[in-house]
Chains A and B, each alone.
Chain A
Amino acid sequence: MTSELNRMTIAEARDGLARREFSALELTRACLEQIKLVDPKINAFITVCAREALAQAAAADRRLAAGDAPALCGIPLAIKDIYATRGVRTTCASKMLENFVPPFDATVIARLREAGAVFIGKANMDEFAMGSSTENSAFGVTRNPHNVERVPGGSSGGSAAAVAADECLGALGTDTGGSIRLPAAFCGVAGIKPTYSRVSRYGVIAYASSLDQVGPFAKTVRDAAILLRTLAGHDPRDSTCSARPVPDYEAALTGDVRGMRIGVPKEYFVAGMEPQVETAIRAALASYERLGAKLVDISLPHTEYAIAAYYIVATAEASANLARYDGIRYGLRVDADNTGDLYNRTRAAGFGTEVKRRIMLGTFVLSAGYYDAYYLKGQKVRTLIRGDFDRAFARCDVIATPVAPTTAFKIGEKMADPLQMYLSDIFTISVNLAGLPGLSIPCGFDRDGLPIGLQLIGAPFAEETILRAGDAFERTGAVKRRAAIL
């Protein structure tokens, strides 16, 4: 029995712990055992925190015994290595931060601590969250638990792989252009990017600040709802963070989608999509009709411009955000006899290829003579993309699309062609530009056993609606959670 505890959902473990059927310590040990067994094959973790996790689990058991168990008491989670964790090395998968030990916790880490969660380890990712495959890590590639020759998606690939491989019960990721939704789809787990400003980013290493958002991975939509409730809410330390009250997301999961208007944008069903992906998405849409939802044809006419706009806006912001890595106060330093050379050499040695490429692109689009032609143009197209969604949500409650045109691609397949890699995010990236919530849920498998993801997009702060829709589909049992074969 104990060896199977790590396969539980958060909702199941919460009930089992409350009934004292097993202890938090047994649950954490089961996850650590699984990591020992499978992580050499998938490399989902940069740092495993066994000692800390066992201490947290023991503390959780004391609270459970005292009848004082908070929402996530004793639940083992993987944390993307982009979150500052007090006293635990936080690398952002970069040589630049290889030995960086934060003196503070990110706000969401502090919230999870208060809620009694156990941090099992720091998950691998693309360096500084820049990538769609978790191949851009200074700590090695993460492999897809459903097929180790395939990528797990990125940039939060370690988090998604850890959940899919039952190394933990849930995980934290971040999503700037699809970095939660794409790995969730490729690894066959649930992942939600909440509305921009719904969750605090204090202590989350910044990539593109007008796009970055925090979100959870989980084995079920219900578990994602449970995690989001703890994560969301106002934080005076993030000036962009919304003061709106946080609903009980789990209570929104009624299973009832009768009368829900589901928008299907024609621009998301175009040439280049794998037929098996389209078949699975169409089947999911048919399920919704059977559940009483209404399908509505909609149009998001500026979809094809989203990637171009994103790679202006995101890289411009990244070039500014990453200016802080100068080798002076923390992080890598390559010594030189003057500060100019010290900066140049430190940054040359500390950043990987993709990070340098994006810093260069972002610096270029902001530079004198190119600002209007590129940066301003990108911001204006962003307005048009937002407008598309505003008009669409006048006619529907949820927009349903594929998460990606393909299933997980092969490791190495797109590394030589950055533009092809960028195009992996074609269906997720507009959601960040518009600041909307997006949920990725498994809706099938292709003939090779690779998961296919359905994306449910909501209006601003309509997390309850997309979670309800995702949960309703999950309840049909049309897609069985398939344990990764490792």
Chain B
Amino acid sequence: MADDLFKALADATRRTILDELAERSGQTLFEICARLSTRHGLGISRQAVSQHLTVLEAAGLVETRREGRCKFHDLNTAPLRRITERWPAPPVPNPEDSTR
């Protein structure tokens, strides 16, 4: 499971897909492709985007659902919690302390 997660995150295009899904969850493959090409200048084929989504889905970061005859992709950031559970982040500094 952890390997799937790190593999999924180890690719810039897949991280960009997560960024776009974070802005708006519930996108069709068409919308994801439109965002990658027009906003990020990524000229990758629909098939390649579909393969990236399969990797993200295997890691649990993307979930798909059907509504009518359409397939939508939702972001699920829950698996990321495993990273901070394994290597806890330092506590957030108290803003009052930092002014000293």
Q: A and B from one assembly? A: no
A residues bordering B, Cβ < 8 Å?
Answer: none
